[in-house]
Amino acid sequence: MKDHHFYYIRDLTRYERQKTWKVNIGGVFVGGDNPVRIQSMTDTLTMDTEATVEQVIALARAGADYVRITVKGKNDVQNLKNISEMLRKRGFEIPLIADIHFNPKLAEMAAKYVDKVRINPGNFYDKMATFQSRIFSDEEYKEELQKIEKQFIPFLEVLKKTNTALRIGANHGSLSDRVMSRFGNTPSGMAESVLEFLRICKKVDFFDVVVSIKSSNTRMMVYAVRLLNYKMRLEDLMYPIHLGVTEAGEGEEGRIKSATGIGALLADGIGDTVRVSLTENPVNEIPIAIKLVNHFKSYINHQPISAPLFAQTNPFEYERRSTRQVLNMGGEELPVVVADLGEHTLHEILPIRGKLIPDFFLSGNKILDASGENYPVMSLAEYLFESTRWGRMKFIRTNKMEFDRFMENNPEIIMKLKQTRKTVLILESLNKNPLAELRAFFMTLETHIWKVPVILYRKYNESGREDLLIKASSDLGGLLIDGYGDGICIANESDKITFTELKDISFKLLQASRMRMSHVEFISCPGCGRALFDLQETTLKVKEHFKHLNHLKIGIMGCVVNGPGEMGDADYGFVGAGKDKVNLYKGLKPVKKHILFKDAVDELEQLIRENGDWVEPEN
């Protein structure tokens, strides 16, 4: 099957769940027509039976469909049996998943006691990545694949016998040197890493498999999963897909980052199960995941959306839509934040709290900047027919349905918009599926080669901040990841969410989609039984100390097993390396090893200073 349009889903303008095969995980099916399943992972020591059982029960009560548990060694495997028995004794049948890295033998042993085993194709048979580039000839590469197949098929036989499902879960940063040598640490590399294993599964008729590709970088994660979905469709490998943004962090940033990455895919109908990874008590992850999944139920049966019949962008890599600069919007400018003043005047909300000051303010039919300069916001008809406004800087507010109708009756708008250098569109959607409708509008703009900058506008009526940020990130995040939008304006009818909270959500959403960095990005893992320090407490401490370094990304990872690679593109890293010991990283390189935990924050500051990246905090 050939697809010249890179249709990674069947229809870019219609919400429908992508078809996948149904997989049985301990009696709770995933994929096919089953609901999107929710899962999480314990962060207790697996040898601590009581604590692990308590946490699994808390997760089940919160609404998790499956719970994953770390398995580091034989003792952990043996204890899975006790955990499972104790859970059943207490009346909980929730399917358990063993999380295993590096050790195929452990995976075989664990299969007896759990309903699914998760392996990482980057380190299961291949050695842990050294990030040293080595060139594999075609012959060598093929031989390595044959070796994998020889070992993997007997493992699949064990899974068949024990009726255990499998997750093949690749992570950005923990691909094998072999895959990286050929495909790089890229979406292609991640997709291929999974596909190599998946093809073997299909070859031996093993269908109880779920796949995943995760990254802490939302763009990377979205492009890689789209590519995987695309290639799986081409090869008729319709295995269900698990979604997650790794190391999303905690608090509002963690929630927005997760909703942006996971939401961008769910909006396209991709994803059969999700985990929201937060550096918090794992129980906190469940309500967010449920809200996220439920949000897309509102997309079902949306009004039909028309669009040019081909995708205009490459959905597998970042490319910002090319626009003409107008004031500080479009062109090479960072996307702007437009704050909706609602019923307030600019004077009433000044001075603005926090460091993040919006670039513009929407007040009725005017856009203001902080200096008080104002620009008219007009309709398409006013724009086209009112000559008194010609030559002045202006904004046009419209939506796709209105625009299509107007264009049909007034085709001259096409030429006018093409030529303008003083106009910005404020684009909203009244469709139940705003992401697809706004995307369709951009496809129209691209078809006509209109370079006009566009502000994405979306109005909600939420009284809970968490609900609002999940919905806004889900609806708009995917567009930003595709390079659409020269600014955003999130409005909310209810006054339960303050002006300050609302504008901060806009800045955080731009950061989560990597469009505009306005605060330091902390990439912290959620923690699991491998963590070598208290992640929640340490993350808060590190955040507090380095929160003013807006230009940096800092990784905080519980262990060296996955930590270093999965920090992604962090500038500095703080990684557990033994009891009370931490390794400090500059990029991917450990530069200070086995630092005492109690000295690690000061040592990290020192390292940042030595590299000229330190700035003094403002008082």
* Interface with ligand SF4 (CB under 6 A): 525-528, 530-531, 557-559, 561-563
Backbone angles phi, psi at 216, to 5 degrees: -85, -10
Name which of 362 and 542 has its Cβ closer to ligand SF4.
542
Cβ 99 to ligand SF4, closest distance in Å? 8
Task: Categorise residue 364: left if φ over 0, alpha if ψ from -120 to 50, beta otherwise.
Answer: left
The residue length of the chain stands at: 619
Name which of 502 and 575 has its Cβ closer to ligand SF4.
575
Name which of 100 and 305 has its Cβ closer to ligand SF4.
100
- Note whether 407 and 413 are within 8 A (CB): yes
Cβ 408 to ligand SF4, closest distance in Å? 54
Cβ 277 to ligand SF4, closest distance in Å? 8
Residues contacting residue 5 through CB under 8 Å, at least 6 positions apart: 310, 311
User: Order of strands, edge to edge, in the sheet holding 589-596?
Assistant: 521-524, 553-557, 572-578, 581-586, 589-596
Name which of 49 and 120 has its Cβ closer to ligand SF4.
120
Cβ 561 to ligand SF4, closest distance in Å? 5
Cβ 221 to ligand SF4, closest distance in Å? 16
Name which of 377 and 528 has its Cβ closer to ligand SF4.
528
Write out the two tokens for 147.
């070796």
Task: Categorise residue 26: left if φ over 0, alpha if ψ from -120 to 50, beta otherwise.
Answer: left
Cβ 155 to ligand SF4, closest distance in Å? 21
Write out the two tokens for 388.
């008194």
Name which of 492 and 538 has its Cβ closer to ligand SF4.
538
Residue 540 bridge partners (DSSP): none
Tell me the CA end-to-end span of the chain in Å, nearest whole number.
62
Cβ 151 to ligand SF4, closest distance in Å? 23
Residues contacting residue 425 through CB under 8 Å, at least 6 positions apart: 395, 396, 397, 398, 452, 453, 454, 455
As a whole number of angstroms, the distance between CA 126 and CA 472 comes to 40
Name which of 41 and 505 has its Cβ closer to ligand SF4.
41
- Cβ-defined contacts of 411-419 (< 8 Å, 24+): 412/384, 413/380, 413/383, 413/384, 414/448, 414/450, 416/383, 416/384, 417/450, 417/452, 418/448, 418/449, 418/450, 418/451
As a whole number of angstroms, the distance between CA 142 and CA 148 comes to 10
- Note whether 359 and 487 are within 8 A (CB): yes
Name which of 121 and 558 has its Cβ closer to ligand SF4.
558
Cβ 247 to ligand SF4, closest distance in Å? 8
Cβ 101 to ligand SF4, closest distance in Å? 7
Name which of 189 and 526 has its Cβ closer to ligand SF4.
526
User: How many CB atoms are located within 10 Å of the residue 557 CB?
Assistant: 31
